[in-house]
């Protein structure tokens, strides 16, 4: 990302005018709100309004409620983009699609190296690693799988393994008894029903023990090149913050978000969103003040907005800044201009 753009992105206010001009959206958040409030206050002072008759007010409120209820039924379309960003302005379906795709383009610039963070060399290793990643970090799984695959390199080997030995290897990933059962069970199913090969179809993958739609899409997208949306905890949180959907069930989120993007973008979109959730838009303290997509985000302000404090919340991979191919955007640097601290256990 060019240095100027990076600097603008780091400061949401600095990037707002350009971003809004390009997107056709009102300028971002604080500035707009302040201006609008000041204007309103002046207007009020200059021409005090007569109180509207009670009946008329009640009628107006009922009409507004009906419109809101109707919009709510249609998911997010027609709802205000954000309380602060566009007071009272509804976002059309077209505007939502444009904003969603723009966020994805911005994320692609920020995370050009986005990839599945689990280490694997073949579809079997990926499906096993994805099952093991439940309730733990990818880092922890990556520390565990080399020993597992060294001892049991094929589905046949793992299907015939002694569960106690596998449990010992998997202990650091948590829920190791259930995970042992799943990986041995899925290896047996691969051997007995699929000739020892991981199937490349969703309907077959979800039949394997411990494999749900999320795991299946990870495997399809990353081992078979078939587009899929991975709705993990980060994905769910971020798409709701961005008002891409108000659905709460993974299947419905998958369908709603899938409808905003061409199928060919689904897999990389999933990586971008998950990368952003892990590094900047955290569950408890999103680093809004250091977030390059703040001008496009209706939830700006949900986290820390002070740029200095926000930078301290950023999380990075072990070994330093991962995007060495590009100039590091300023958002990735700490106050002293050094790569921000490594991504810790999450
Ligand atoms: S909530 Fe904050 S950190 Fe998350 S995307 Fe929006 S502006 Fe960025």
Residue 186: give its domain's CATH number: 1.10.340.30
Instruction: Give the Cα separation of 75 and 257 in Å (integer).
Output: 11
Q: Which residues line ligand 1 (CB under 6 A)?
A: 241, 280-281, 286-288, 291, 293-294, 297, 299-300, 302-303
Higher pLDDT residue, 32 or 174?
174
Q: Are residues 124 and 222 in the same domain?
A: yes
Instruction: Give the Cα separation of 234 and 217 in Å (integer).
Output: 15
Q: For residue 22, is pLDDT > 50?
A: no
- For residue 51, give Cα distances in angstroms to 48, 64, 292: 9, 19, 44
DSSP class of residue 244 equals S
Torsion of CA 32, 34, 39, 42, to 10 degrees: 180
Domain boundary among 185, 207, 226: 226
Of these residues, 49, 214, 251, 306, which one is catalytic? Answer: 214
Q: For residue 345, is pLDDT > 50?
A: no
- Residue 46, domain member (yes or no): no
- Residue 60, domain member (yes or no): no
The pTM is what? 0.64
Q: For residue 249, is pLDDT > 80?
A: yes
Cα(112) to ligand 1 centroid in Å equals: 19
- Residue 342, domain member (yes or no): no
Q: Are residues 203 and 237 in the same domain?
A: no
74 is catalytic: no
Q: Are residues 194 and 147 in the same domain?
A: yes
Q: Are residues 256 and 280 in the same domain?
A: yes
**Who contacts 131 (Cβ-Cβ below 8 Å, separation ≥6)?**
179, 182, 183, 186, 210, 211, 215
Q: Are residues 106 and 122 in the same domain?
A: no
- Choice from 240, 294, 306 to test ligand 1 binding pocket (greatest atom count within 8 A of CB): 294
Q: State the average pLDDT over residues 87-108.
A: 88
Of these residues, 232, 309, 312, 318, which one is catalytic? Answer: 232
Q: Are residues 137 and 217 in the same domain?
A: yes
232 is catalytic: yes
Decide if 214 contacts 230 (C-beta within 8 A): yes
Q: What is the 3-state secondary structure (H, E, C) of 83-94?
A: CCCCCCCECCHH
Q: How many domains does the chain have?
A: 2
Q: Are residues 167 and 246 in the same domain?
A: no
Q: State the average pLDDT over residues 225-248.
A: 94
Q: What is the pLDDT of residue 271?
A: 92
Higher pLDDT residue, 150 or 278?
150
Q: For residue 36, is pLDDT > 50?
A: no
- Note down the domain range covering 292: 70-110+228-315
Cα(77) to ligand 1 centroid in Å equals: 20
Q: Are residues 262 and 128 in the same domain?
A: no
Domain boundary among 168, 196, 226: 226
Q: Are residues 138 and 194 in the same domain?
A: yes
Cα(82) to ligand 1 centroid in Å equals: 12
Q: State the average pLDDT over residues 186-213.
A: 94
Q: Are residues 130 and 74 in the same domain?
A: no
Domain boundary among 203, 226, 249: 226
Q: State the average pLDDT over residues 233-248.
A: 96
% of the chain residues with pLDDT over 90 = 51
Q: Which long-range contacts (CB under 8 A, 24 or more apart) does 35-44 make?
A: 36/87
What SS3 class is residue 183?
helix
């Amino acid at each position: 990302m060019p240095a100027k753009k990076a600097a603008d992105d780091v400061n949401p206010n600095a990037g707002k005018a350009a971003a809004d001009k390009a997107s056709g959206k009102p300028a971002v958040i604080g500035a707009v709100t302040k201006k609008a409030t000041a204007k309103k206050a002046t207007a009020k002072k200059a021409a005090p309004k007569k109180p509207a008759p009670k009946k008329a007010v009640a009628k107006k409120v009922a009409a507004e409620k009906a419109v809101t209820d109707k919009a709510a039924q249609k998911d997010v379309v027609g709802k205000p983009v954000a309380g602060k960003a566009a007071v009272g302005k509804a976002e059309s379906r077209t505007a939502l699609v444009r904003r969603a795709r723009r966020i994805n383009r911005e994320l692609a610039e920020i995370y050009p190296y986005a990839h599945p963070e689990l280490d694997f060399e073949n579809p079997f290793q990926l499906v096993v690693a994805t099952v093991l990643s439940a309730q733990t970090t990818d880092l922890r799984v990556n520390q565990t799988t080399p020993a597992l695959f060294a001892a049991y390199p094929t589905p046949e080997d793992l299907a015939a393994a002694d569960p106690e030995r596998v449990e010992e290897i998997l202990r650091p990933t948590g829920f190791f008894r259930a995970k042992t059962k799943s990986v041995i069970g899925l290896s047996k199913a691969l051997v007995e029903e699929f000739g020892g090969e991981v199937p490349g179809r969703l309907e077959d993958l979800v039949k394997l023990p411990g494999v749900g739609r999320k795991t299946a899409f990870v495997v399809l997208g990353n081992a078979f090149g078939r587009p899929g949306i991975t709705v993990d905890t980060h994905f769910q949180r971020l798409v709701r913050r961005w008002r891409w959907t108000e659905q709460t069930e993974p299947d419905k989120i998958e369908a709603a978000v899938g409808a905003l993007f061409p199928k060919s973008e689904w897999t990389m979109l999933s990586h971008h969103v998950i990368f952003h959730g892990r590094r900047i838009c955290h569950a408890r303290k999103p680093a809004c003040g250091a977030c390059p997509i703040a001008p496009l985000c209706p939830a700006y302000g949900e986290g820390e907005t002070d740029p200095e404090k926000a930078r301290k919340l950023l999380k990075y991979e072990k070994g330093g800044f991962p995007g060495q191919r590009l100039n590091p955007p300023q958002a990735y640097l700490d106050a002293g201009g050094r790569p921000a601290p490594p991504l810790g256990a999450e």
